Structure 1
Amino acid sequence: MIFAGCTAVVKTQVKSVAENFIEMFDGLEDCAEREQKQKILEISSLMEEMDRKELCCVLAFHLFIVIDKMIDEKKLTLENALVLLKNIGYCKEMKYIRSIWFEEPPLIKIFQKLIINEEKKKEEKNERRLIDLCECYLLLNDEEIPDELLSIIVPCLLKIASKKDKTEEIQKEVETALLALGNIGFWELEEELYLKEMKDIINYHQKHHNLTRLAYQSAWQFFIYRFFNDDSLEEVIANKLHFAREARREIEELTRCIDWKRKKEGRRRKEAKEVRIIKRWIQTFEKFFLSCSLWNEEYEEIIGSIVRVFRASKDKYREICKGCISSLRNAAQNRDVKVDDLLKGRAVDAVLEEIQRPTLNGKIAFESLQFFTNVSRRLKEEADGETDEAKRKLEKRKIFEKMEVEGYEDLIISFHEIFYFIDKKKNINIICCC
């Protein structure tokens, strides 16, 4: 057995779906190529059923080293391995797992070499194999990507992502390519490598609606990561492609699609794809608020949308709830986001609601306190030409009145002690607003 000795460990840690995965994976090496393809489809379905902890557990058992060994010993064809690895990468992305195990040699080095060698071919180049290699590499790799590889991978996948056919097969191809591109992260890219093509992809969708929801979110995620290192893109993002307007519409439509109060059925409930996409949008907002500066009415409405997602998710989807609080914390930190907009969007109310939960998560508590820390600091800053002293005092009074109405007279005072403790322990420079 490939995973000999692992099943007993899994049995004590996670539910039976992981055991089924291991047993089915163990049987791959004894199958003919055609039967392997069918088993890989079944394995992929099992990965979809796994929760985040289960998939992490399975990946931790040197899965990529085992796959590399099977390829080397010709017990698994490269084509079948690519299908399997792409499905692993898709699930890893949708379940928010950092794939540290893929970075173990030799598989990542082999993929880098295969991509470069396939690109160098002239007459015998296998375009489908190159695409699969590029998608697998991006979906599974969370570390630095060499410039030589980016110059091959980005144009290759943008070519696929630019397909406009609305057939289910093409939409899936486009979705996978954009999902992979969205996982490039913060690595810098020359605008010549992507800007025109990605603008065209988003513009075309806004007119013809040819992308899936996941594909569209992934296209924006790719753009926001580029913006983090190149603020010259904000004019394109804000005023030409209307990120705020589009993002708000997407998450509000997704919010209406989800039964937020649905109870678990039996031992597990497969998470709806819409829930996963909302998680990705909230993560994108977290990154966006760190750098945005062209604050306008479209952006103001994002605050309200985040608060609505927070209220819908806070009882059943605590991970989304935490992401919402983190996004609001980053918004409060950004000097271009007006404190008054946080009030109008009911962000202050939302964070206060979270703090008074009887079972408050420690990480969410810290994010919530940081939100008020950021608001405190902003209220203490000198007026900037748009906000005069009278308006600043009015905003400050509104915030404290909300806290008093909710019964937070004592908490206002205790914030001083909490901030002082964080300042001493975390080396954070905090200025309270009294």
Structure 2
Amino acid sequence: MQKLSLPLPAPDALAASLALQHLIIDEIHQHQGWIPFSRYMELALYAPDLGYYSGGATKLGKDGDFTTAPEMSPLFGATLANLAANIFTQTSAQVMEFGAGTGKLARDFLTECQFSGITIDRYFIVELSGELRARQEDLLQDFPQVTWLQEMPVSFSGLVIGNEVLDAMPVDLVMKTEQGWCELGVALADAGADGETGPRLLYRERACDPARLAQIPEAEELPQAYMTEVHAVATGFMHSLARMLKAGQTESGRGSAAILIDYGFPANEYYHPQRNEGTLMCHYRHHSHPDPFYLPGLQDITAHVDFTAMAKAALAGGLDLLSYTSQAAFLLESGIANLLARQSPEQVMAYLPQANALQKLVSPAEMGELFKVLVVGNGVDLPDGLLRHDRCHRL
């Protein structure tokens, strides 16, 4: 693989990455020299105190590795709050957010609830990272409705929000070879190989369980050397989400909706023959590159979302498929332009940054088309405007 030219980490960050590499190498040794890529990705992102999301590195914003929609504009969270006001007429007045990052979305959501008189009883945040939870607690200290959870509860009724959550869930890698499909796991190169002075992480093939290919339409028609991802962890999350919402409806008699916002495609686009290197991507200090073995623990590792697989998992769990559309259509139909209009254009210093952020959120050339919104639920009807640009038929 081509050597990367990226900013050097601070000495303490490099030491943490080396400690995580040793942990990963030990795990490989304990499993006969090979682990699934999903296990490697899990350790790289979530190993206690060392993984990307569980360590102390700054992840979000101008000083981090990437920027999310809530970090760009308070209009994003405010728009979700105004949509929630409609949904709360059919559900309990509760929110559960997964992957809350810095807490910015929650703060903007709750601030809009205060401003617009939207009643909200509880705002749950399911957070695995101690470092992120500490940042969230500091940012949200003025909102007593917020409660933190370390795992998904058994039952819930209300609105679930997951912004850029599914893309951070570990994926497995598969490749089509002359002998058929194989799974790409993580192994070690011998010390001294390719001039290396110590063990080096690399991909290694292993026979593939045919069940892993169920997500890929017409897998046998794809060309040789085709590499892609399958999403067992994310589909498992969707099954668990469905169980939680179904149990919440049984207990409360009220419905729920889950809004999942991420970058991705329907299956027929995701597994297109020309997308032959998959979608796996890494983010390090606002640089994007394809090497997941570079400084584990210091970079984000993501894959695009197969929204067809997510929708099928929700349906299999007994939920309804309520909407699938672009982020642009979702935000515009949910009233984001009306929220911007509350700010006078004559107040240029306040108006222009928000207008520019809105443009990035909805422009087809920016986030508006790349990001999609999947809404699933039970016992809930969405406003008619949200159905105007529905793309469920593409799933």
What interval of TM-score do these two structures reach, taking the shorter chain for normalisation? under 0.3
TM-score (norm 1): 0.24
Structure number with greater Rg is 1
Higher relative contact order (CA 8 A, sep 6+): 2
Between Structure 1 and Structure 2, which shows a larger proportion of helix residues?
Answer: 1
